[in-house]
């Protein structure tokens, strides 16, 4: 039997319950080493048929890709509104993107068989949860988004994606500015016992 060093069950449950999706971060730096710890946990997620279907693209704080991402976001907003954005507004978008802590684009492999594509997506979501829980244990927090940033027109080119991938989301990782209390409905509402 493999020995697993364990904290108490209540520690793990507290981490699960203490994890919060976060959008506002302090400017504390998050190192490559910390991101690597998260990614190392990510690849230990369950994955049916051992397809290891997750793909990660890390955008560091000083990455030149940030300027490209900001340009794409400006493009989306201009197309959506049918107007050119003012220079001040464009600068604000650029500053916002440059100011984010590190972020990771997460994808799962698309297979020719739909069932496998679905299993792959499920596994990649588990990999995200691994990262979120380990981040929480490190005093960090993750913002999981499937919003505008995952729909940039040239994302595939920017991230040099060559495989057929399904979007899982973009995760922003940093120290949370504050922690919100959230509730959950009791599991009893969603569970039948036989």
Task: Name the site residues for ligand FMN (rule: CB under 6 A).
Answer: 20-21, 144-147, 169, 182
Q: At what angle do helices 87-99 and 65-81 cross, to 10 degrees?
A: 140
125 phi and psi, to 5 degrees?
-65, -40
Minimal distance in Å, beta carbon 92 to ligand FMN?
19
**Distance of alpha carbon 101 from alpha carbon 27, whole angstroms:** 7
Residue whose CB is less far from ligand FMN, 162 or 181: 181
**Distance of alpha carbon 26 from alpha carbon 178, whole angstroms:** 9
Minimal distance in Å, beta carbon 182 to ligand FMN?
5
Residue 103 and residue 178 in contact, taking contact as beta carbons nearer than 8 Å: no
Minimal distance in Å, beta carbon 173 to ligand FMN?
14
Residue whose CB is less far from ligand FMN, 26 or 146: 146
Minimal distance in Å, beta carbon 174 to ligand FMN?
15
Residue whose CB is less far from ligand FMN, 19 or 66: 19
**Distance of alpha carbon 60 from alpha carbon 57, whole angstroms:** 10
């Amino acid at each position: 039997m493999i020995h697993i060093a364990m904290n108490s069950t209540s520690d793990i449950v507290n981490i699960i319950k203490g994890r919060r999706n976060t959008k506002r971060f302090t400017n504390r730096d998050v190192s490559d080493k910390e991101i690597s710890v998260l990614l190392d946990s990510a690849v230990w997620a369950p994955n049916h048929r051992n397809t290891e279907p997750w793909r990660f693209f890390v955008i560091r704080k000083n990455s030149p890709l940030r300027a490209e991402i900001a340009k794409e976001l400006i493009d989306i907003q201009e197309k959506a509104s049918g107007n050119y954005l003012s220079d001040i507004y464009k600068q604000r978008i650029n500053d916002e993107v440059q100011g984010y802590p590190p972020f990771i684009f997460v994808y799962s492999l698309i297979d020719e068989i739909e069932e496998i594509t679905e299993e792959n997506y499920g596994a990649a979501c588990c990999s995200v949860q691994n990262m979120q829980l380990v981040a929480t244990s490190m005093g960090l927090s993750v913002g999981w988004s499937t919003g505008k940033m995952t729909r940039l027109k040239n994302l595939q080119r920017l991230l040099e994606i060559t495989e057929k991938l399904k979007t899982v989301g973009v995760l922003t990782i940093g120290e949370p500015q504050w922690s919100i209390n959230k509730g959950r409905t009791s599991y009893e509402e969603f569970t039948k016992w036989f």
